[in-house]
Amino acid sequence: MSGKVAFVTGGASGIGAALATKLVDGGAEVWIADRQIGPAQDLAQRLNRGGTKAHAIELDVRSYPSFERAVAEAVGQSGRIDYLFNNAGILVDREVDSYTLDDWNDVFDVNLRGVVHGIQAVYPIMIGQHSGHIVNTASIAGLATGAAPASYTATKHAVVGISKSLRIEAERHGVQVSVLCPGMVSTPMVLTERHRGMAPGPIERFLETSKPERFAERALLAVLRGDAIIVLPTWWKAFWYLERFSPVLSMLVAKAMLKQKRRMQSTAA
């Protein structure tokens, strides 16, 4: 990716920060776009110590005008955008019986409309360049039934669908589209929302072996290959294959996972 320009949303932490770091390591110029401009600036400063180009830019993906302004600034300074990583995402980890309408809207605005805003802002630029690669972050929850919250699951299924359709459309413009479908990766979103207040257990110990840095390294290799659907760590594909083989059995497994999750939450309460 040497000499390429990448724009990463949600780039200040978690998977986004790991992607930005690996992109810089590979010689790319990176725009770290995040609603939290302070951490984005801190990361850009650390990455620039190696003499590379990393820029921090404030972006609220829920606002299309905000996305347009950020993209215009990036193109104005860097001249182009070769990679768009639509990575920003949130999780409201409650069951629907305790949701408010605001919960639904918050998740839809960031996880789905944020991706749409990125596509609308950057895709025309890539069409004009006759090149580019859009990488949307979904989740294994976008491919298989699981214990993930309904709002999160809905948006991630939508992101997978958008990515697959756009990949077919964009080919004639010389633009590639991929969708990242992480399994459980040790990110601030997972640790603070999913496991708030829980004592260390098997999931926490598993997360120690599933770091964003490792995920980003393997994900970028798959992006360079042009893979359409990227599931990492790879063993999470078992859930995707099970969903395709037997949706009924997949739902039974998801039911068992939800029961275990409820027990853990009850123990922590």
- Over the stretch 3-18, which tens digit does the pLDDT of each residue have? 999 999 999 999 999 9
- Predicted confidence at residue 86, as pLDDT, reads 98
- Predicted confidence at residue 191, as pLDDT, reads 44
- Predicted confidence at residue 198, as pLDDT, reads 40
- Predicted confidence at residue 151, as pLDDT, reads 96
Whole-number Å distance between alpha carbons of 117 and 120: 5
Share of the chain above pLDDT 70, in %: 90
Question: 93 to each of 1, 61, 153, 166, how far by Cα in Å?
Answer: 36, 21, 11, 29
Q: What is the pLDDT of residues 102-111, one digit of tens each?
A: 999 999 999 9
Please compute, for residue 42, the number of CA atoms within 13 A of its CA located in the half-sphere on the CB side.
Answer: 7
Q: What is the pLDDT of residues 14-57, one digit of tens each?
A: 999 999 999 999 999 999 999 999 999 999 999 998 677 999 99
Q: Any idea which residue has 């257990």 for tokens?
A: 201
- Predicted confidence at residue 202, as pLDDT, reads 44
Please state the rounded mean pLDDT for residues 223-236. Answer: 96
Whole-number Å distance between alpha carbons of 212 and 29: 20
- DSSP code of 199? P
- Considering the candidates 64, 83, 99, 152, report the single residue annotated as catalytic: 152
pLDDT band at 165 (very low <50, low <70, confident <90, very high): very high
3-class state of residue 56 by DSSP: strand
pLDDT band at 253 (very low <50, low <70, confident <90, very high): very high
Task: Tell me, yes or no, if 152 is annotated catalytic.
Answer: yes
Q: What is the pLDDT of residues 175-189, one digit of tens each?
A: 999 999 999 876 555
C-alpha angle 11-2-10 in degrees, rounded to nearest 5: 5
Q: Which residues contact 3 (CB under 8 A, 6 or more apart)?
A: 27, 28, 29
Distance from first CA to last CA of the chain, Å, rounded? 47
Whether cis (ω within 30° of 0) applies to the bond prior to 233 is yes
- Predicted confidence at residue 52, as pLDDT, reads 72
> Residues 37, 61: contact at Cβ < 8 Å?
no
The structural domains of the chain, with segments of one domain joined by +, span 5-268
Name the more confident of 1 and 222: 222
Q: What is the pLDDT of residues 77-87, one digit of tens each?
A: 999 999 999 99
- Predicted confidence at residue 35, as pLDDT, reads 96
- Predicted confidence at residue 186, as pLDDT, reads 61
3-class state of residue 253 by DSSP: helix
CATH number of 5-268: 3.40.50.720
Name the more confident of 176 and 209: 176
> Residues 141, 89: contact at Cβ < 8 Å?
no
